[in-house]
Amino acid sequence: MRTIDDLGDLRGRTVLLRSDLNVPLDGDTITDEGRIVASVPTIRQLTEAGARVVVCAHLGRPKGAPEDKYSLKPVARRLGELLDAPVQFATDTVGEDAKAKVAALQDGQVLVLENLRFNPGETSKDDTERGDFADELASLADVFVSDGFGVVHRKQASVYDVAERLPQAAGGLVQSEVEVLQRLTKPRRPYAVVLGGAKVSDKLGVIDNLLKTADLLLIGGGMVFTFLKAQGHEVGKSLLEEDQVGTVRGYLAEAENRGVDIVLPTDIVAATEFSADADHEVVAADAIPADRMGLDIGPDSARAFAEKIAGAKTVFWNGPMGAFEMAPYAAGTKAVAQALAEATKAGATTVVGGGDSAAAVRQLGFAEDDFTHISTGGGASLEYLEGKTLPGLAVLED
């Protein structure tokens, strides 16, 4: 992939920068600014080089038309605070306001365009419609820099098609993400993978691939109950994907054949309902009461997971161990995060694979440097580890 340095002198040139600013909002309040923070170094590199920086990004899942709750305006405001410099905001993406403000940009200035997904062409499956929107985006700039790792697995106008229309390069964030994930394809061993989150079906491809590369898989979160069911245990009212039980049973058999250690919880925090105020207790993983649902791994499991992580030289973690947003069910996720932080200090390579895991470690008080790397792209990192071709990376290859 070409880098920003390969683009030559950028002074006076307009750079269309695809960033990932898709952060959670509570009204106008940003509840996790990790992706905005991660975008700052590349923006600063471009402004210091004298470029006129036009940032484009999406937020949420609007249906191809403007919606106030998905406006990037509060994100642009916070970006300006982090850059300690004025950041302008266009109230449209390729309309009159955007064109006028791009034309008025001076060297070293930054403009954020309104949400890309307010335009149906951004996510269209129709190549012509998507290409037409990419033409409009490309007309705003001289060069394109791709720095939104969280979207490189999407074949979208601002990720893929624009890169075919302008001189292009990968930004520093995309470069660092790819470098770290490449290390996971040839890991120092033992290689431990911690998988959580709600659904097994979200991670079928990555589990299939990791059975060929990992030494042990630690399974938590809502997906664990499909594993427990595959072993013949009842799971009460816990989240369960009945249609995946057979697939999981096959994974368990394949792991045994390959000598991969799949570690499941031995105890579970089970509650009467999905609520912080619900009655809850620690129960054996193979004896979850019929009237309760599992919402976290139990303390014995948390200790066992931590011991396994301590013995690893490489650890990849994607997905929380429970409903960490509610205090009674956060202990398992916190224990795993703490174990990764201690493994980092001991010299292990530790990667937090984006999405809810990244939000969890920040919410639970951990710092960026407690881990080797916190990815900004959960879905993108998983697809990379599945061995899939990611359109937004493929288009950047020399």
Among residues 35, 155, 292, 334, which one is catalytic? 35
Q: Is 99 a catalytic residue?
A: no
Q: Is 2 a catalytic residue?
A: no
Are 360 and 337 in contact, with CB atoms under 8 Å apart?
yes
- The Cα 226–Cα 197 span in angstroms is 12
| Binding-site residue set for substrate | 20-22, 35, 58-61, 117, 154
| Binding-site residue set for ATP | 203, 294, 325, 354-357
Among residues 77, 199, 249, 388, which one is catalytic? 199
Handedness of CA 324, 328, 329, 330 (dihedral sign): positive
Task: Tell me which residue of 112, 195, 106 sits closest to 381, measured CA to CA.
Answer: 195
Q: What does the block give as tokens for 220?
A: 């938590």
Q: Is 319 a catalytic residue?
A: no
| Binding-site residue set | 20-22, 35, 58-61, 117, 154, 203, 294, 325, 354-357
Residue bearing tokens 């042990």:
216
| Binding-site residue set for (2R)-3-phosphoglycerate | 35, 117, 154
- The Cα 309–Cα 261 span in angstroms is 13
Among residues 221, 332, 378, 379, which one is catalytic? 379
Q: What interhelical angle do 73-83 and 34-48 show, nearest 10? A: 60
Q: What does the block give as tokens for 200?
A: 């097994």
Q: Length of the chain, please?
A: 398
Q: What angle do CA 365, 370, 373 make, to 5 degrees?
A: 115
Q: Is 150 a catalytic residue?
A: no
Give exposure, 346-371, as e/b (b: 16+ Cβ within 10 Å): eebbbbbbbbbbbbbbbbeebeeebb
Task: Tell me which residue of 14, 94, 79 sits closest to 46, measured CA to CA.
Answer: 14
Q: Quick check: helix, strand or coil at residue 292?
A: coil
Among residues 355, 377, 378, 392, which one is catalytic? 355
- The Cα 173–Cα 381 span in angstroms is 13
User: Which residue intervals of the chain are DSSP H helices?
Assistant: 34-48, 73-83, 96-104, 127-138, 172-185, 204-210, 224-230, 245-258, 299-310, 331-345, 355-363, 378-386, 391-394
Q: How many Cβ atoms are within 10 Å of 398's Cβ, its own excluded? A: 5
* Residues labelled catalytic: 35, 199, 355, 379
